[in-house]
A and B are shown apart, each in its own frame.
Chain A
Amino acid sequence: MNSATFSVHRGPMAILARLSRMIMPAIVLFWLAMAFFGHWVAPYDPAGIQDADLFEGMSRKFWLGTDYFGRDMLSRIIAGARYTVGISLMATSLAVTAGVLLGLAASAIGGFFDTAISRFLDALISIPSKMFGLVLVAALGASIPVLVLTLAVIYLPGCYRINRSVAVNVAALDFVAVARARGESTFYIMIREILPNMVGPVLADFGLRFIYVVLLLSSLSFLGLGVQPPEADWGSLVRENMPGLPYGAPAVIMPAIAIASLTIAVNLTIDSAFGRHAREGIR
C-alpha cells in the first residue's frame, strides 16, 4: 500500500502526501456536488449574455472571466460539470455493470461461453479508443444517449477483461466449490458467492474507467464530435473558446483545468484508497 511507503519518509514529501490524501477526495466530491446542485450556486445564467467584453480576464465580477459571447465563464463551467460528470458517470456505470456481469458469468459458466466472449471482447480492445469513438460518432451522430452508449461500448472490453480475471481467481476458491456441491444455481454463485469478494477491485476499476471516459468524452467534444451546442460540456467549452487563445483568455484554459482537476483528483483518490498496484493491468 502507498501509505506504508509514504510513512517511512518524513519531511515535506510526507506532509504533501497527507495533504493530497485529504484534498483529492474533497475535489471529487466538489465536482459531484456541482454536477447535481450547481444550478443553485452558479452566479449567473450560463446562457445569459452579460454586460461585459468578450474574453474578459478574471475579475471580482466574473471570477473566471467571460467567453466568446461575453457570458460568465464560472457559471458555464459549473453548468458544464453536469454534462461532463453526468455523461461519464452514466457511461462508466453501464460499462462496469455489463463488464462485471459478463465477467462473473464467464467465470461461473466457463467452457465455450467463456472462450467465445473473451476472444470477441479481446479483439475489440485492438481498436484504439479514440478511433472507435470517431467511427461510432461518424455512423450514429452525437446525441447524448448515443454518446453514453458509445463510451460504454468502448470501455466494456477492458472492463470485462479485468473483472473476469478477478472473478476467475475467486471462483477457484474452496467456498465456491462448496456452493457448487450444495447444488446452488449458477446465478446464485455469481451474485452471492463471487461478487461480494470482488468489491474492492470493481470500485478501483470504476474510478480508473471513469477517468478514461472523462478524457475521451472531452476529446470528442473538443473535436466538435461530442456534446453539441447549445449544450456544452468542458471539452466543448475549450473548443468554442479557442479563438481566445491568442489573447491568453482564461475562457480557454479554465475548462481544461477543470477536466485535469477532476481526473487527477480521482486518480490520486484511488491511489490512496486502493494502493498504486490497483492500476496495474488496467487499460
Chain B
Amino acid sequence: MNATIGRLLLTRLVAAILTLWFVATVVFVITNLLPGDVAQELLGQSATPEAVAGLRKALGLDLPPWQRYLEWLWNMVRGDAGRSLVNGSPVAALIGSRLGNSLILAGITALVAVPVALALGITAAVYRGSIYDRIVGAGTVLAVSVPEFLVASAAVLVFAVQLRWVPALSQLGRLETVLDVVRTFALPVLTLTFVIVAQMARMTRAALVDVLSSSYIEMARLKGAGQARIVVWHALPNAIGPIANAIAFSLSFLLGGVIIVETIFNYPGIAKLMVDGVSTRDLPLVQACAMLFCGAYLLLVTMADVAAILANPRLRHR
C-alpha cells in the first residue's frame, strides 16, 4: 500500500457513493412520476374524498416533493424502507426474510461458475485459433444472445421432464441430505451459471491472450520453457488483475439473471419479491429492492475496479 493506491481507492469509493446517491434520486423521481395519485389508486374510484385525503396525509403525500425526497433518502440511509402498500408490513422485514435465500443462490452459482469460466477462458487462450477456441467463442456469443428463460425452460424440459432427475420447482424446506440440496439448486444454478460463464470466459480469454502475446513470454518460449510452465508460472501472475476484474464484472450479470430464474423456478428470493411488488405496484417495496440491487451492482463493479488497481504492479511499487 502506498499513497497513490490509497488515493485511487478513495476516489473509487467516493465515486461509488456519489453514484449510489444519484441512483437513489433517479429511483425516487421515477417512482413519483405517476400523474395519478397513489392514495386514489389504493382506495379505488369509489373512495370518498375525505378517505383519500386521510390516506394522503398518512402516507406523507401532502408534503412538498423535495421534503418527501429528503425524508425518504434519510430513511433509506437508516435502513428504514417504510411499509408495504399491499399488506402493511415493514419492507425491511419482508426483504430480510428473503435476502438469505438469494445470497445462497448467488453464492452457489459463483462457486460453480467461476472455476468453469476460468477453465474455459484459460484453455481457449492457450489453444488460441484452434477449433476448440472457435467453438468456445461461438458458444459464448450464442449464450449471450438467448433469453435466460429459454435456458431455464430447456433445462426443465431435459432434466425434470425427460430425465426426471430433479423437480421442476425449487422447494426450500426439506434440505436434509446432500442430495436434497443438489436436487433443489441444480436447475436454478445451472441456468444462472450458463448466463454468466459466457461473459466471464470471454473476458478471461482476452486478458490471458493479451499477456501471452507480450515479449517476455516469447523470451520464456525461446529459452525452452514448456507450455504449462509458461502459462502457470509466467503468464497467469500478470493476468490475475484483469481476470479478477472479469470475475467481479461478470458476477454483476447475476443480478439480471436472478430476476428471471427466481420467477421461473418459483424460488423465494428478493428478485421474486420485487417482481411481485412491480405487478401489485407496491412502490416502497420496489424502491427498496431496486436500491438493494443497484447497490450490489455498484459494489461488484467497484470491486472490479479495485482489483484492477491492486493488481497493477506499476501502481503498487511506485
Contact = CB atoms under 8 A, between A and B. Distances in A.
B145 A223 contact: no
B84 interface: no
Contacts, number: 134
B60 interface: no
Given A126-B294, A140-B34, A225-B278, A131 B146 contact: no
A13 interface: yes
Contact of B157 (A224, A238, A245): A245
B290 interface: yes
A253 interface: yes
B31 A134 contact: no
B153 A128 contact: no
Nearest to A11: B131
A134 B27 CA distance: 11
Interface in A246-263: 246-248, 252-253, 256-257, 259-260, 263
A216 to B, nearest CB: 9
B279 A126 contact: no
Contacts of A252: 153, 157
Nearest to B282: A138
Main secondary structure of the interface of A (DSSP, over half): helix
A215 B149 CA distance: 10
Interface of A: 13, 123-124, 126-131, 134-140, 211, 215, 218-219, 222-225, 235, 238, 242, 245-248, 252-253, 256-257, 259-260, 263-264, 267-268, 271
30 contacts: A13-B131, A123-B23, A126-B19, A126-B23, A127-B26, A127-B294, A128-B256, A130-B256, A134-B259, A135-B30, A135-B31, A137-B278, A138-B283, A219-B259, A222-B263, A224-B279, A225-B275, A225-B279, A235-B147, A238-B149, A242-B153, A248-B162, A252-B157, A253-B153, A253-B157, A256-B147, A259-B146, A260-B145, A260-B150, A268-B141
Interface of B: 19, 22-23, 26-27, 30-34, 131, 134, 141-142, 145-150, 153-154, 156-157, 160-162, 168, 252, 255-256, 259-260, 263-264, 274-275, 277-279, 281, 283, 286-287, 290, 293-294, 297-298, 301
